[in-house]
Amino acid sequence: MGDLEGRVAVVTGGARGIGLGCCECLSAAGASVVVADIDGAEAEKGAGRLPGPALAVEHDVRRAESSEALVRATQEKFGRVDVLVNNAGVGPKPTPVQDLTEEEWDRVMDVNARGVFLTTRAFVPPLIAQKSGRIINISSIVGQSGFGMVIQYVASKFAVTGMTQSLAHELAPHNITVNSIHPGILVTDLHSAVVTAFSSLMGQEEQATWDWFMSRIPLQRFQTPKDIGEMAAFLASDRAQNITGASFNVDGGWEMH
């Protein structure tokens, strides 16, 4: 019997990368999992890979009505919701600040920050009603310390960290915990695109950029979606019932605070 037997978990951006890693670990721990993703077809594929009960829902975190529909679909299928993993996000287009457009700023903030707000707002009422719940927000190592050329992404991930702490205070009286996970460098489509862009900006080979990132990691390995998923499964469980407002770096030692 898994730690999450009988629980229902919703993961935004759950069709690939970190999101799918979270879905797989939550399902392996016994949870029924809702794979929510803007790509409905990929969400269906992801749900089909899980070992336990699963539901795929097309969800756009930028739209309030989509979040409300996601809550309804989850309750209609499983009757309740216990865990929300706010994972959906977009990567930045590395750019010197003087060249950064308002459109690029808005694109990143709209998904990475506003999307967390809208989805969380929709799920809080049922969590309050049942007097229990877990909210797990996926931030980043750059949601702890800044990094050049990606001010829009850094701002969005610091926003996630701040929302986590604020919500932890606000929702504690309802027995709802709120924590954030801060992934390091992963070899996913999102991270690979950023490495490609950084390499072009710096005029160097992509392998040199990957090597530089690796040199910053004490454990000398990149992280995997499963690494992040295992932390999410722990925070969703009763073993983490006395943890809230905390930030967890899963980054091989890049950040040490």
124/141 Cα distance (integer angstroms): 26
For residues 226 and 34, give the distance between their C-alpha atoms in angstroms, rounded to a whole number. 17
Question: Which two three-digit tokens encode residue 234?
Answer: 């722990």
Beta partners for 9?
Answer: 33, 83
Residues with catalytic roles: 153
For residues 175 and 131, the answer to whether their CB atoms sit within 8 Å is: yes
Selection from 39, 32, 23, 47 nearest residue 77 by Cα: 32
Q: Say which DSSP state 38 is in.
A: S
Quick check: helix, strand or coil at residue 36?
strand
Extended strands (E) in the chain? 8-12, 32-37, 54-58, 83-86, 133-138, 176-183, 247-250
Q: Under DSSP, is residue 133 helix (H, G, I), strand (E, B) or coil?
A: strand
Amino acid at site 115: G
Q: Which of 141, 87, 81, 94 is nearest to 116 (CA)?
A: 87
